[in-house]
Chains A and B, each alone.
Chain A
Amino acid sequence: MKLYIRYSPGTVVKRLLQEQFDKLQLNYSIIGIGEVDITGPIQGDKLKELTSELSKYGIEIVESEKNILIQKIKDAIIEMVYMDDKLPQTLSISSYLSDKLQSRYGYISNLFSNTTFTSIENFIKLQKTERAKQLLSTSDLTCSEIAWKLNYSSVAHFSSQFKNVTGLTPTTFQRIMKKRRVLRAEEQLLGNIKILGLDTTTNYYKIN
């Protein structure tokens, strides 16, 4: 015998997604065709399970995988820049990233530029400057030591790239951050003195 059935694909997919998301105990709302909003992040293994479950029905997670890869690229770069050892040579940054992410560098690089509106090279430059800022304001390293550690070819190269990103020389930056800290400490001290109800208009604090 032959059965004639009628169904609505939208309802089928929606019901199916609900079942899968419920099974993984995810907090979700189905926004429309092809878009689901999940509250909070999904852990890696849960996402893998979800991806494989959905693939049985020919359903593929599109955007999020790209976003995750972008996040992985960023994480790998940050990890690289904040290594305690010396940074890898510029030439091998591409192989470092493709090794770490198990993808061709060309693919990673294109995906990154298309999604974040900046190139990987630029992002690395920004992150290296960020690391340099941290070292300049919290460590006793000199500019030449920082230049060596972050793998700039020379102090001059380091200074000029720093100036290119921030508009300031490393020494000016360091001086500003130092003055800022002093100012904040002074303001805090002044605040404490006021809390204690002491008079701040006369200068009778004498330290021997």
Chain B
Amino acid sequence: MYIMLADDDEDDRLFFKEAFEAIKIFTIVKSANDGVELMEYLSGNGNTLPDILFLDLNMPRKSGMECLMDIKRMDHLKEIPIAIYSTSASEQDIENTFVKGANIYIKKPNDFGKLKKLLEEVIKMNWHYQTSGLNRDSFLLSL
């Protein structure tokens, strides 16, 4: 499974990668340092598109929200499941990103064990949506 993360914080990126390495499901994690880098990758010819994309909200140059809105407007990208991965857990941010088309909202935990568990749950749920004929349009998950 191909996973991508856009996050400007180096520690968070590392933490995220290590969590996926600790999960038993086979994954490849690619990361981008900000929104501009992410969009360049996604628009690049022949680049593998991720099975699921994790977006930090606060990034320099281009925010996660701006990326989300751009992605949902592009035909070749709009079907990618999007998980918001943010330090904020404000009701406002959660609701806004869902309305704009995000599928999953994760508040970044401080604890490695918790992160591992959350990511595992996300992957499982995403898998259900891929294999059990559930309706992607109403795939909302807040963790």
Chain A residues at the B interface, C-beta cutoff of 8 Å: 74, 78, 117-118, 123, 126-127, 130, 133-134, 137, 166-168, 172-173, 175-177, 179-180, 183, 187
Contact = CB atoms under 8 A, between A and B. Distances in A.
If over half of A's interface residues share one DSSP class (helix, strand or loop), that class is named, otherwise mixed; here it is helix
B132 A74 contact: yes
Contacts of A167: 105, 140-143
Contact of A168 (B99, B100, B101, B142): B142
A177 B95 CA distance: 10
Given A176-B99, A180-B99, A183-B99, A134 B128 contact: no
Q: What 4 A-B pairs have minimum CB-CB distances, sorted nearest first?
A: A167-B142, A133-B138, A179-B99, A176-B98
If over half of B's interface residues share one DSSP class (helix, strand or loop), that class is named, otherwise mixed; here it is mixed
B110 interface: no
B1 interface: no
A172 B142 CA distance: 11
Interface residues of B, number: 18
Given A172-B95, A176-B99, A180-B101, A137 B143 contact: no
Given A166-B141, A168-B142, 5 more contacts: A74-B132, A134-B138, A167-B105, A180-B101, A183-B100
Interface in B124-143: 124, 128, 132-135, 138, 140-143
A130 B128 CA distance: 11
Interface string B78-121: 00000000000000000100111100010000000000000000
Given A172-B95, A176-B99, A183-B100, A130 B143 contact: no
A133 B137 CA distance: 10
6 contacts: A117-B124, A166-B142, A167-B105, A167-B142, A168-B142, A177-B138
A172 B134 CA distance: 20
B93 to A, nearest CB: 13
A157 to B, nearest CB: 20
Nearest to A178: B99
B138 A168 contact: no
Given A167-B142, A173-B140, A176-B140, A130 B99 contact: no
Nearest to A168: B142
A166 B100 contact: no
B33 to A, nearest CB: 28
